[in-house]
């Protein structure tokens, strides 16, 4: 089909999650005529079934844990009574309070036309929309951004249809019906979702088994991080089965309980559960809206170039659909590139900068990472030095009863240039921001060391790890000379 001569919109955005919302906002801010199409709830995964509900649940679990450990601070409290409907109310109310940030009203005020409906690409420039309110519309866009997100991976395990399995998309509605936290809960997959929910539900009273195929939890993290997380989860009562692969399921006749059959190096084993949550990764949502017909997919995936362009340069993708990182902040980061390249790419285009991608896992203690990890450096044969600081030494961590974890910084040998940072600590996601900023601005550990950090704060840990680096790189000859100099001055 030939490129049309006229278009209804400068840009059409499909999907109002983080990637779509930010793309639409940026397009409107530079005065483009933009339409944003969403078939479900505004805010997508993060607001409705992802970050927001999971972090609200984690907060409730933390409160329960604080009550249980209050005696460490001389405050005797009885075992907390978990009002599970109250927990789920906090989850729901958190979503409701944040909803206005992503609402149709807010985006309309920002100059975005929002259409509630299901979009389909019918040719490279035309999007047909089945309106939620009934009826159809058709729009032609000069550029189109696909921001349709991802969905939980559900492998075809034999017997899966005999159990009422849950995913991050379905668990919130199901658990909103329960009077108590599920009794025997299996979390299948020891990645971000599995670890966060395993700890939260254990704290809320479930007997949790966390199952991971790899030999360690959070296989994408530094080995020491995985080890510390495993110890922390086990110390709270999570039953960990790493090196165990799910094979098949079988459900009881009334579907009230199920059995998960597992395989490990020693043979086969079983776990019985009341509820099972599949947290086995999320795959790009590519089906059912015309990508196949336009031949945009390869092996079911949507290939994009460094500018987020598909095979058709005016059709771009952002967020979980595009990958490779599935984070809300990455969706927002890519959205800028998708919007700018979509609107101005034939004049000037920008390759997405993936050089510095921080992330955090919101367990306790928190895990945060940026840049190169030690195992990655080894795999890629990159020379590095490691400097550590253990949190059990930090005044603020000690008084707060949070004296566990570490900061590990990888630097260029002999230089203070930071290659990567892994933190396991209370508020690790906040602590790492200083390193992300330093790396982005090309500042090394010397600059962090020479910055005043307020006493007593957790952020002093950043300065202390820089101090450890400095001590290890002290100019030894100069110090020997100074020793002689001072002896001479004493007479």
Ligand X SMILES: NC(=O)c1ccc[n+]([C@@H]2O[C@H](COP(=O)([O-])OP(=O)(O)OC[C@H]3O[C@@H](n4cnc5c(N)ncnc54)[C@H](O)[C@@H]3O)[C@@H](O)[C@H]2O)c1
Ligand Y SMILES: Cc1cc2nc3c(=O)[nH]c(=O)nc-3n(C[C@H](O)[C@H](O)[C@H](O)COP(=O)(O)OP(=O)(O)OC[C@H]3O[C@@H](n4cnc5c(N)ncnc54)[C@H](O)[C@@H]3O)c2cc1C
Quick one: which segment of 123-131, 209-217, 341-349, 388-396 binds ligand X (CB under 6 A)?
Answer: 209-217
Closest distance to ligand Y from the beta carbon of 195 (Å): 11
List the beta bridge partners of residue 141: 9
In whole angstroms, give the CA distance from residue 354 to residue 27: 22
In whole angstroms, give the CA distance from residue 150 to residue 15: 11
Determine, following the binding rule CB under 6 A, whether residue 408 of this chain makes contact with ligand Y: no
- Binding partner of residue 119 among ligand Y, ligand X, none, CB cut-off 5 to 8 Å per kind: ligand Y
Quick one: which segment of 130-138, 353-361, 416-424, 443-451 binds ligand X (CB under 6 A)?
Answer: 353-361
In whole angstroms, give the CA distance from residue 474 to residue 471: 5
Of 11 and 449, the one with the shorter C-beta distance to ligand Y is 11
DSSP output for 428-471 = HHHHHHHHHHHHHTT--HHHHHTS--PTT-TTHHHHHHHHHHHH
Closest distance to ligand X from the beta carbon of 198 (Å): 10
Of 13 and 410, the one with the shorter C-beta distance to ligand Y is 13
What's 453's DSSP letter?
A: -
CA angle, residues 424, 429, 435, in degrees to nearest 5 = 90
Per the CB < 8 A criterion, the answer to whether 340 and 26 are in contact is yes
Give residues 178-217 in contact with ligand Y (rule: CB under 6 A).
193
Determine, following the binding rule CB under 6 A, whether residue 405 of this chain makes contact with ligand Y: no
Residue at shortest CB range from ligand X: 191
Give residues 133-192 in contact with ligand X (rule: CB under 6 A).
188-192
CB neighbours of 94 closer than 8 A, spacing ≥ 6?
52, 53, 55, 56
Pairing type for strands 136-146 and 315-317 reads parallel
Determine, following the binding rule CB under 6 A, whether residue 38 of this chain makes contact with ligand Y: yes
Site string for ligand Y, 134-153 (x = CB under 6 A): -------------xxx----
In whole angstroms, give the CA distance from residue 30 to residue 11: 12
Site string for ligand X, 421-450 (x = CB under 6 A): ------------------------------
- Binding partner of residue 245 among ligand X, ligand Y, none, CB cut-off 5 to 8 Å per kind: ligand X
Quick one: which segment of 16-24, 204-212, 308-316, 469-477 binds ligand Y (CB under 6 A)?
Answer: 16-24
- Binding partner of residue 276 among ligand X, ligand Y, none, CB cut-off 5 to 8 Å per kind: none
- Structure token pair of residue 199: 């700890």
Determine, following the binding rule CB under 6 A, whether residue 279 of this chain makes contact with ligand X: yes
Determine, following the binding rule CB under 6 A, whether residue 360 of this chain makes contact with ligand X: yes
Closest distance to ligand Y from the beta carbon of 334 (Å): 8
Quick one: which segment of 37-45, 131-139, 250-258, 291-299 binds ligand Y (CB under 6 A)?
Answer: 37-45
Per the CB < 8 A criterion, the answer to whether 112 and 28 are in contact is yes
Q: Is 367 helix (H, G, I), strand (E, B) or coil?
A: strand
Q: Interhelix angle for 192-203 vs 51-68, to 10°? A: 40
- Binding partner of residue 317 among ligand X, ligand Y, none, CB cut-off 5 to 8 Å per kind: none
Give residues 258-317 in contact with ligand Y (rule: CB under 6 A).
285, 289
Phi, psi values for residue 331, rounded to 5°: -60, -45
Per the CB < 8 A criterion, the answer to whether 27 and 11 are in contact is yes
Per the CB < 8 A criterion, the answer to whether 468 and 386 are in contact is no
- Cis amide bond preceding 365, omega within 30: yes
Residues in contact with ligand X by the rule CB under 6 A: 188-194, 196, 211-214, 219, 245-246, 279-282, 326-327, 359-362
Residues in contact with ligand Y by the rule CB under 6 A: 14-20, 37-40, 44-46, 50-51, 54, 118-119, 147-149, 168, 193, 285, 289, 319-321, 326-329, 331, 362
């Amino acid at each position: 089909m030939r490129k049309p001569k006229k278009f209804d919109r400068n840009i059409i955005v499909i999907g109002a999650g983080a990637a779509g919302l930010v793309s639409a906002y940026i397009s409107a801010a530079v005065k483009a005529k933009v339409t944003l199409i969403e078939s479900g709830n505004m805010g997508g995964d993060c607001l409705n079934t992802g970050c927001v509900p999971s972090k609200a649940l984690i907060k409730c679990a933390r409160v329960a844990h604080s009550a249980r450990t209050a005696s460490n601070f001389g405050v005797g409290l009885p075992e907390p009574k978990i009002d599970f409907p109250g927990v789920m109310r906090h989850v729901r109310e958190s979503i409701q309070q944040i909803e206005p940030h992503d609402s149709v009203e807010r985006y309309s005020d920002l100059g975005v036309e929002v259409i509630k409906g299901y979009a389909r690409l019918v040719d490279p420039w035309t999007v047909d929309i089945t309106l939620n309110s009934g009826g159809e519309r058709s729009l032609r866009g000069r550029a189109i951004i696909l921001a349709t997100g991802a969905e939980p991976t559900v492998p075809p395990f034999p017997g899966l249809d005999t159990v009422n399995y849950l995913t991050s998309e379905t668990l919130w509605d199901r658990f909103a019906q329960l009077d108590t936290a599920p009794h025997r809960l299996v979390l299948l997959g020891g990645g971000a979702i599995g670890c966060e929910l395993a700890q939260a539900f254990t704290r809320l009273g479930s007997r949790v088994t966390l199952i991971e195929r790899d030999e360690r939890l959070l296989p994408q993290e530094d080995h020491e991080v995985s080890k510390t997380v495993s110890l922390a989860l086990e110390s709270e009562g999570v039953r960990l089965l790493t090196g165990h692969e799910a094979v098949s399921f079988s459900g009881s006749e009334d579907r009230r309980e199920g059995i998960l059959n597992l395989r490990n190096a020693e043979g086969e084993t079983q776990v019985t559960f009341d509820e099972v949550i599949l947290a086995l990764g999320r795959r790009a949502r590519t089906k059912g809206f015309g990508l196949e017909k336009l031949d945009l997919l390869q092996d079911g995936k949507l290939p994009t170039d460094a500018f987020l362009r598909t095979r058709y340069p005016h059709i771009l993708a952002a967020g979980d659909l595009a990958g490779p990182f599935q984070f809300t902040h990455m969706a927002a980061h890519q959205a800028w590139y998708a919007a700018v390249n979509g609107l101005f790419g034939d004049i000037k285009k920008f390759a997405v900068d993936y050089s510095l991608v921080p992330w955090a896992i919101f367990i306790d203690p928190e895990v945060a990472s940026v840049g190169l990890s030690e195992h990655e450096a080894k795999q890629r044969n990159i020379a590095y030095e490691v400097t550590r600081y253990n949190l059990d030494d930090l005044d603020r961590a000690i008084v707060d009863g949070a004296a566990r974890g570490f900061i590990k910084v990888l630097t260029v040998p002999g230089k203070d240039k930071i290659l990567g940072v892994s933190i396991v600590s209370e508020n690790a996601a906040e602590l790492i921001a200083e390193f992300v900023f330093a790396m982005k601005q090309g500042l090394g550990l010397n600059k962090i060391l020479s910055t005043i950090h307020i006493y007593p704060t957790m952020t002093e840990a950043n300065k202390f790890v820089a101090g450890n680096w400095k001590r290890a790189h002290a100019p030894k000859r100069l110090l020997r000379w100074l020793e002689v100099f001072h002896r001479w001055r004493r007479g």
